[in-house]
Amino acid sequence: MAPPTLTPDLPLAILGAGPIGLEAALAAAQASLPFVVLEAGDEVASHVADWGHVHLFTPWSMSVSPRMRQRLATRGLAPPNDDECPTGDALRQRVLLPVATDPSIAPHLRLGTRVVSIGRQGLLKHQEIATAARAARPFRLLLETAEGEEILLAGAVLDCTGSWSSPHRLGDGGLPAPGERRLEDQICRRIPDLVRDATDWVGRRILLVGGGHSAQTAARDLAQLATEHPATQILWALRDERPQFAPLVDDPLPARRALGEDAARLFAGGCPSLAVRTGVVVEALAAHDGAIHATLRGPGERTETVTVDRIVSLVGATGDASLYRQLQIHECYATSGPMKLAAALLGAAGGDCLEQTSHGVEALRSPEPNFFVLGIKSYGRNNTFLLRVGWEQVDEVIAELASVG
Ligand SMILES: Cc1cc2nc3c(=O)[nH]c(=O)nc-3n(C[C@H](O)[C@H](O)[C@H](O)COP(=O)(O)OP(=O)(O)OC[C@H]3O[C@@H](n4cnc5c(N)ncnc54)[C@H](O)[C@@H]3O)c2cc1C
């Protein structure tokens, strides 16, 4: 099915200027494809900025793409290439912000531009199901900027909007717990920066919910704070009854191995100010008398109500599917990723994220011609995405578009 030729009037629209959207922009520029990058934030990589104080668990040598490294080197801006793990902020400052100022990208970058919805010009979702007639119609994107709303037409679309801004909810079954929506302002859904925002956390009673790498990082940081300020009290609630923190005996990533070991130590009672509950879900939340009352339900349907000052919810995130609600995207009913990739990932279930490679351009295709979900959003609820996989996805899709563009 031949896609429309990309032109300055019908360019490739790259949604999101995170690490993968910027990689796609650089690849499109190198392939001489007309493109525009639409980024909701006032700066590029705004999601990475949200966790800027956190160290990546991959070192510099695995966190900068060969394409970006080479391009920055030609401008005398080569980033480190060693075994140290950068923080998110260092990755932004040394790599992502400079890449965005590259003369091949900067004129095509629109900051402060949120994509609200995407459709096909003149067609509804159910019309022309995966036909050549559908492919011949431009994409129609509703954009929101400080000036108002506008329409942009595009010949092809790469959705690289990530998953960070759609965090999962606290309640059982993935639903919001009763009372959770009312307390939205009082729930921290990111890894707190305990240095910058110390006064918000010192001496507080804190409920931390979640068991993945982000929650482990927060547990470690909070335990450190409690060691320095013993009035700080942490209750760490995990859904798993027997969480596995360090599954890899010889983890090749020392930073990830250290995190797992620290989490296991805390779990085993390594910090007197941090208590653990396993096999629990948040049953309900309520606020009164200046505190939050969280009811936890655990094994045997036992409930316990704890009174805290702050809640940190780190229970995962999945990309925003509402963007492409009007398109013919076949989503996996279990993981919410694009179906073919989701099936490939489920087929390769388990294992370490270091073993992940891209599954090829076919796995990225949807019934909607010339629309691709790339980057961490493409993994849906699967938490094994690595930057390296995103760079491979970009190579494959840009090669495909360049071959017909
Ligand atoms: C704490 C943490 C640590 C991680 N550590 C590692 C690591 O060590 N190694 C590794 O390989 N991976 C790591 N990852 C996983 C992954 O590589 C990162 O999440 C990475 O940022 C994903 O890049 P992305 O470009 O796909 O998405 P994002 O970085 O999420 O970028 C998406 C961009 O899209 C923009 N956007 C969102 N919605 C819209 C919209 N509607 N319109 C326009 N723009 C929009 C956002 O503002 C953002 O700039 C980590 C993730 C987290 C959260």
Task: Please give the pLDDT value at position 383.
Answer: 87
What integer is the mean pLDDT of 144-162?
98
Residue 353 has pLDDT above 70, yes or no: no
139: amino acid identity, one letter: F
Among 106, 102, 19, CA closest to 374:
19
Q: Are residues 33 and 70 in the same domain?
A: yes
* Residue 18 alpha carbon to ligand 1 centre in Å: 6
Tokens coding 328: 């013919």
Q: Are residues 136 and 159 in the same domain?
A: yes
* Residue 101 included in any domain: yes
* Residue 67 alpha carbon to ligand 1 centre in Å: 18
Q: How confident is the model at residue 356 (pLDDT cuts 50, 70, 90)?
A: low
* Residue 115 included in any domain: yes
**pLDDT tens-digit series, residues 96-116:** 999 999 999 999 999 999 999
Q: Are residues 24 and 158 in the same domain?
A: yes
Domain boundary residue, one of 292, 313, 334: 313
Residue 354 has pLDDT above 70, yes or no: no
Is residue 259 within 6 Å of ligand 1 at its C-beta?
A: no
Q: Give every CB contact of residue 345 below 8 A, 6+ residues apart in sequence.
A: 335, 337, 359, 379, 382, 384
Task: Please give the pLDDT value at position 130.
Answer: 86
Is residue 382 within 6 Å of ligand 1 at its C-beta?
A: no
Residue 405 has pLDDT above 60, yes or no: no
Among 87, 356, 381, 44, CA closest to 217:
87
Which atom, in ligand 1's list, is nearest to the CA of 57?
8
Query: Could you tell me if 10 and 57 are in contact, meaning their C-beta atoms sit under 8 angstroms apart?
Result: no
Domain boundary residue, one of 313, 331, 353: 313
* Residue 3 included in any domain: no
Is residue 24 within 6 Å of ligand 1 at its C-beta?
A: no
Residue 10 has pLDDT above 90, yes or no: yes
Q: Are residues 345 and 381 in the same domain?
A: yes
- DSSP per-residue letters across 298-337: -GGG-EEEEEESEEEE---B---GGGGTTS---B-TTT-S
Report how many domains make up the chain: 2
Task: Please give the pLDDT value at position 294.
Answer: 98
Q: Are residues 342 and 380 in the same domain?
A: yes
Neighbours of 279 (CB within 10 A): 17
Mean pLDDT of the chain: 94
Please identify which residue in the block is written with the tokens 């191995």. 257
**pLDDT tens-digit series, residues 287-331:** 999 999 999 999 889 999 999 999 999 999 999 999 999 999 999
* Residue 1 included in any domain: no
Q: What whole-number percentage of the chain has pLDDT above 70?
A: 95
Of 142-146, 161-165, 212-216, 240-244, minimum mean pLDDT range: 240-244
**pLDDT tens-digit series, residues 203-241:** 999 999 999 999 999 999 999 999 999 999 999 999 999
Q: Are residues 125 and 186 in the same domain?
A: no
Task: Please give the pLDDT value at position 347.
Answer: 79
Residue 21 has pLDDT above 60, yes or no: yes
What integer is the mean pLDDT of 377-405?
92
* Residue 388 alpha carbon to ligand 1 centre in Å: 13
Q: Which domain holds residue 209?
A: 172-313
Domain boundary residue, one of 260, 281, 313: 313
Task: Please give the pLDDT value at position 346.
Answer: 85
Is residue 90 within 6 Å of ligand 1 at its C-beta?
A: no
Q: Are residues 43 and 123 in the same domain?
A: yes
Query: Could you tell me if 80 and 91 are in contact, meaning their C-beta atoms sit under 8 angstroms apart?
Result: no
Residue 126 has pLDDT above 90, yes or no: yes
**pLDDT tens-digit series, residues 171-183:** 999 999 999 999 9
- Which residue's alpha carbon is at the smallest distance from atom 37 of ligand 1? 161
Task: Please give the pLDDT value at position 228.
Answer: 95
Q: Are residues 189 and 275 in the same domain?
A: yes
Task: Please give the pLDDT value at position 253.
Answer: 86
Ranges of H-type helices in 39-116: 46-50, 60-63, 66-74, 88-91, 97-100
Residue 352 has pLDDT above 90, yes or no: no
* Residue 201 included in any domain: yes
What integer is the mean pLDDT of 52-76?
97
Say which CATH number the domain at 104 has.
3.50.50.60
Q: Are residues 37 and 52 in the same domain?
A: yes
What integer is the mean pLDDT of 357-380?
92
Task: Please give the pLDDT value at position 194.
Answer: 96
Task: Please give the pLDDT value at position 244.
Answer: 83
Beta strands 205-209 and 310-313: pairing type?
parallel
Residue 1 has pLDDT above 70, yes or no: no
Q: Are residues 287 and 333 in the same domain?
A: no
Q: How confident is the model at residue 349 (pLDDT cuts 50, 70, 90)?
A: low
Q: Are residues 123 and 206 in the same domain?
A: no
Q: Are residues 198 and 133 in the same domain?
A: no
Bridge partners, 151 (sequence order): 142
* Residue 2 included in any domain: no
